[in-house]
Chain A
């Protein structure tokens, strides 16, 4: 079964409702409640101390850097940053050293906020709270599955690493939108230095709540939570599969049961982990070993003032500069080329050409290119001094080596062709290829295109690519009318 082909939004009459819970590891030097290093990898059980192992008698002490990063996240997501309290979430699990997780429950550090997707659609954020990560279990024997394993090993290097859990509102309506949300969130987290956002290393993890409802129905359907999503691709596939599963259940007269489900990437399907009735009773209560977190207004203001420009602000800035909409600005911002583009446009370069180069010719970054020379280059192109092909070649040189566009172009032997020379050349080619010329003049649209391509090609051949293709086309059109 091809899961890509059964995206639920393609099932007529049904709507998918998606809410995401994203866990991101905060890029602190040490763990959330101790001075053990927060470091990925390393020999098992080396980044540990009495606190992160939950040894008897050990006590948690809150990491100030983690609080600062959490506040950055809250401010970047337009959340209310507030007084917060840690609670204990109690359940038994071998990779959780204390058999409870210190998390935030009724009083999270960041309250409601929002995130704006590149297309301008705003997704609600319900909260973004601090909590500690668990260790990792490895099941040895039995193919790595817990029930067949001969024994299990636990590595507590990750135990106690600070996490921010960002709970999104059920505002997403398609797998594509969900992917866009996660991509945007990741870009924000990386931009503000809160997290490295690496899904493949597990430093960013996504749990996904999915329900379906007939289009037009106001109430939400019964949701299922999907765990074990490790990439943007998995996210899209899992949502598509799960939504389709739920639609199929309902249309065949069955009910969707509220469940926690596991995404199996290899099989391309979700399967049941536990039902609502089997859900844990976490017995939350305020963590008595910690005191409430009450960041001062001064501190919050200082953190706000130090925030870098966010992807949304960059899109808005570029969109305004280039007179385009924010979606069209997204790719350039994503590539980190928007400063360059905005500078070049400010220097008077043609915005559409600037964006074409940013999107097509600078995929590997801008290298040694700066805004002023980018602008000068684009002006040479639009002024007819360089052809598109020549411009691309000069651009590559500027990226690799820097320099003045005019000098680089001259060094490469790129000189604009005199329009008089080009007229002589075109007239000669028309004379040499009378049948092609007739076909160009009297042929249909397709034939005309084909023949213009032929003549442009001949001109390029004769000039070693120095001619401007657009100028040749204009000349051909002029000759055809006369």
Chain B
């Protein structure tokens, strides 16, 4: 059942929140050993929260728009008094003294947190294989990855552990796992959702967003967590956009451009079945009344290279604080410098170390202009190219990921191949624009394919209109 349906049932008193939560905890108990979507399941806390929702319903108070709906949180979102690990050894034992803004807003909306989900360590990866606490398996085929880095959240939704989950998306970490697990994933406009309490990977790119089974649930969840937060200086000073009310508006008259460079022409690695589904999705939108054309956004192909300078550069600075002095892991040594080194050597996994080194190098004296400076110029070019494209089009379309879910272990030996998974998602992060992945059919292997809808900044309502059209067509196919 959808989150929307569950919330309605709980709000009307037709179902108790406890029964909803109990049912999901039971699904987790039976499925989790095979999937390993969670770092931590919060069964007792979830039942207590459900009882509070039921008490409010009984007392005639408004229990919130997401009353009693189970939600899974990516384990890089701070939860007061509850371990928040980023799937890293280095944060072992740390209990945040505060809740992330999104966690506060979920609680206010009546949602019930059922657990903290696995991720690639510090959200660095595209398969959830880089976790210090083990691999998450794709619920649709447990020999395959769920994508990443929000693989635990995507798997939790796909496995029915929770109808709602939150992830974070720095270069595609919500949309790519959503595509690989056959769920909806949204990266909102940069600043639309507060980052306060999201453990930073790359601050100028990170955004929190929903992973859900339906477009409508994603809209509800985004409405609940979005809107201005004075604790995040990059938060847009506007209330959350209304999304649920636009879902049935269709795409009649919308102009939609298919990005040539990211759809297989001129970019290697986009699988034929993924290209076919994209073409079919374009036809659906066309049939529904939109004007669909192929268009060029040339600089997007350089996004990947720029991203792998900018994101590691920011990460090298953001992750400096894990030094063994204040919290988390500490490996003792005779002096502070050696203690820092020993702690970081033991506490970080290889991918995190690789990116810290990349970023440190890119910011070094003598290399800054050639790497960081040049990457920022590419970023500006991408923003300009998008701006030009949005003069002609309301929305853009491209695949979410180049392929369907790949087998566990297939790409771990070759970071460059792994990085290519994000080639279609990264440009939106660099531009700060919203984008979402909607499941649309399956590939030759029977695994789900995601189609990505891109919109200009604050263009979520139009983006959701198109997503709703694709969703209803996809469910008929």
Residue positions of A touching B, CB distance < 8 A: 50, 53-62, 88, 90, 92, 94, 97-100, 147, 152, 154, 281, 283-285, 288-291
Contact = CB atoms under 8 A, between A and B. Distances in A.
Nearest to A89: B317
Given A56-B321, A290-B233, 16 more contacts: A56-B78, A57-B198, A58-B196, A59-B195, A59-B231, A60-B233, A61-B232, A62-B233, A90-B316, A90-B317, A90-B363, A99-B321, A154-B325, A283-B364, A285-B368, A288-B203
Contacts of A90: 316-317, 320, 363
Nearest to A291: B233
Nearest to B230: A61
A147 B337 CA distance: 11
Interface string B292-325: 0000000000000000000001101100110101
B98 A50 contact: yes
A55 B97 contact: yes
A356 to B, nearest CB: 57
A99 B233 contact: no
B291 interface: no
A99 B327 CA distance: 13
B340 interface: yes
B96 A57 contact: yes
Contacts of B412: none
A147 B338 CA distance: 13
B234 interface: yes
B320 A99 contact: yes
B368 to A, nearest CB: 8
Nearest to A33: B233
A288 B96 CA distance: 23
15 contacts: A50-B97, A56-B91, A56-B96, A57-B96, A59-B196, A59-B233, A62-B233, A90-B363, A92-B323, A94-B336, A99-B321, A100-B320, A147-B335, A154-B325, A285-B363
A58 B98 CA distance: 9
Nearest to B229: A59
Contact of B325 (A94, A100, A290, A291): A94
A382 to B, nearest CB: 64
Contacts of A291: 233-234
B366 to A, nearest CB: 9
Q: Which 9 A-B pairs have the closest CB atoms?
A: A99-B320, A288-B204, A283-B363, A288-B203, A57-B78, A56-B199, A57-B197, A94-B325, A98-B321
A67 to B, nearest CB: 13
A46 B388 CA distance: 52
Contacts of B94: 56
Contacts, number: 96
A285 B86 CA distance: 25
Interface of B: 77-78, 84, 86, 91, 94, 96-98, 100, 195-200, 202-204, 230-234, 313-314, 316-317, 320-321, 323, 325-327, 335-337, 340, 360, 363-365, 368, 372
A57 B196 contact: yes
Contacts of B84: 56-57
A97 B232 CA distance: 19
A92 B335 CA distance: 13
Contacts of A290: 233-234
A55 B335 CA distance: 23
B321 A97 contact: yes
A283 B357 CA distance: 13
B340 to A, nearest CB: 6
Contacts of A98: 320-321
Contacts of A94: 323, 325, 336
Contacts of A154: 325
Nearest to A147: B335
B233 A53 contact: no
Nearest to B325: A94
Contacts of A55: 96-98, 327
A283 B360 CA distance: 8
Contacts of A147: 335
A56 B201 CA distance: 10
B248 to A, nearest CB: 37
Nearest to A53: B326
Contacts of A152: 336
